[in-house]
């Protein structure tokens, strides 16, 4: 059984490197978060960089549940496949998506596909399946905007999280090693197939973005002896994601303040009642976890943190 007495809140996109995000920090009013940070201590920083394939919030969640931490090789799809009762082995996620194609670059849309039903998704999967099967890849429908793909090709193929690519040039994030040869060919074939697909003709007629490509992510295989932890998993709060990816900073500020009034307030209440709480804030580079005060060297960080404005805490991410 899981330990439900501990509370761990994990907040992705708590800060971004955009100048607009930094400029918005002064508009943030987060009293519950400020109180939490004054009463908890910073644990060792999970440091990374903005070019890593696995986003900080993915690394933090993987560490919490004991998954392998290889950059771009955290086996999220294999975990999902196991939970769905599918076979073991190497898996990946396939995300149908829209690429904005310009004369000099191709950019992944930061917006989720609008009006993309389960039936539409399954129609495209059926059309694409034979091409993937030629390369030994089996597709399984999971949900409209995410499928599962099974192949031993994915066992050591590092891939970038969609959260890394959204709104950015895809060329910077596509795998380039020899193991990705089939993937590069499939991208070309699927762009041709999808360009002429009747479903996309209908979407264009309705002024919806066509589904003109796919993204591969979550690759890897679970270790043979891996089992799910009995500890309570962190509660991941995703409300900052969409405004951050769309760089809508007024909406990001509103989402932060709503989060502070609800989730952070609940965590503070649990702390007031003597509960064991943790808070993990994630930016584009680092993930910082805060935990209960301990004796010794960690207590010195608490006084330092109290003297720092909240904006400085977030900017360090």
Q: What are phi and psi of 217, to 5 degrees?
A: -160, 175
What integer is the mean pLDDT of 4-22? 89
Cα within 13 Å of Cα(115), Cβ side: 10
What integer is the mean pLDDT of 4-8? 73
Q: Check pLDDT > 70 for residue 314.
A: yes
Q: What is the pLDDT of residue 176?
A: 84
Question: Do 91 and 198 fall within a single domain?
Answer: yes
Query: In the listed set 175, 192, 221, which residue is the last one of a domain according to the structure?
Result: 221
User: Are β-strands 41-42 and 146-150 bridged in parallel, bridged antiparallel, or unpaired?
Assistant: unpaired
User: Confidence class of residue 178 from pLDDT cuts 50, 70 and 90?
Assistant: confident
Query: In the listed set 172, 199, 221, which residue is the last one of a domain according to the structure?
Result: 221
The parent domain of residue 97 ranges over 76-221
User: Are β-strands 99-101 and 235-236 bridged in parallel, bridged antiparallel, or unpaired?
Assistant: unpaired
User: How far apart are alpha carbons 89 and 82 in whole angstroms?
Assistant: 9
Question: Do 185 and 277 fall within a single domain?
Answer: no
Helix (H) or strand (E) holding 63, with range, is helix 56-65
What integer is the mean pLDDT of 44-53? 94
| pTM for the predicted model, two decimal places | 0.92
Read off the tokens for 155.
């066992």
Q: What is the pLDDT of residue 307?
A: 54
Q: What is the pLDDT of residues 196-233, one digit of tens each?
A: 999 999 999 999 999 999 999 999 999 988 887 766 78
DSSP 258-307: HHIIIIIHHHHHHHHTT-EEEEEEE-SS-EEEEE---SSTTHHHHHHHHH
Query: In the listed set 179, 199, 221, which residue is the last one of a domain according to the structure?
Result: 221
Q: What is the pLDDT of residues 222-280, one digit of tens each?
A: 998 888 776 678 999 999 999 999 999 999 999 999 999 999 999 999 999 999 999 99
Q: What is the pLDDT of residue 229?
A: 72
């Amino acid at each position: 059984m899981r330990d439900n007495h501990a509370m761990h809140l994990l907040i992705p996109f708590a800060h971004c490197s955009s100048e607009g995000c930094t400029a918005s920090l002064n508009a943030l009013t987060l009293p519950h978060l400020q109180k939490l940070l004054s009463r908890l201590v910073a644990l060792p920083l999970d440091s990374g960089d903005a070019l890593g394939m696995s986003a900080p919030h993915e690394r933090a969640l993987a560490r919490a549940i004991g998954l392998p931490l290889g950059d771009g090789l955290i086996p999220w799809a294999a975990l999902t496949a196991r939970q769905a009762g599918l076979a073991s082995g190497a898996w990946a996620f396939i995300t149908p998506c829209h690429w904005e194609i310009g004369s000099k670059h191709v950019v992944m849309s930061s917006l989720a596909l609008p009006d993309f039903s389960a039936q539409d998704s399954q129609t495209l999967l059926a059309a694409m399946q034979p091409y993937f099967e030629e390369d030994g890849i089996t597709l399984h429908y999971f949900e409209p905007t995410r499928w599962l793909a099974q192949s031993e090709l994915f066992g050591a193929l590092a891939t970038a999280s969609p959260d890394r690519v959204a709104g950015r040039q895809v060329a910077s994030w596509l795998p380039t090693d020899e193991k990705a040869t089939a993937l590069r060919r499939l991208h070309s074939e699927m762009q041709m197939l999808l360009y002429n697909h009747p479903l996309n003709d209908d979407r264009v007629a309705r002024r919806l973005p066509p589904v003109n490509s796919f993204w591969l992510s979550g690759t890897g295989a679970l270790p043979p002896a891996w089992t799910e932890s009995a500890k309570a998993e962190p509660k991941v709060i995703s409300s900052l994601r969409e405004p951050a990816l769309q760089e809508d900073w007024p909406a990001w500020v509103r989402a932060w303040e709503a989060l502070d009034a609800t989730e952070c307030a609940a965590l503070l209440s649990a702390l007031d009642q003597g509960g064991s709480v943790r808070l993990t804030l994630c930016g584009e580079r680092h993930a910082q976890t805060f935990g209960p005060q301990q004796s010794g060297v960690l207590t010195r960080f608490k006084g330092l943190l109290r003297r720092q404005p909240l904006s400085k805490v977030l900017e360090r991410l």
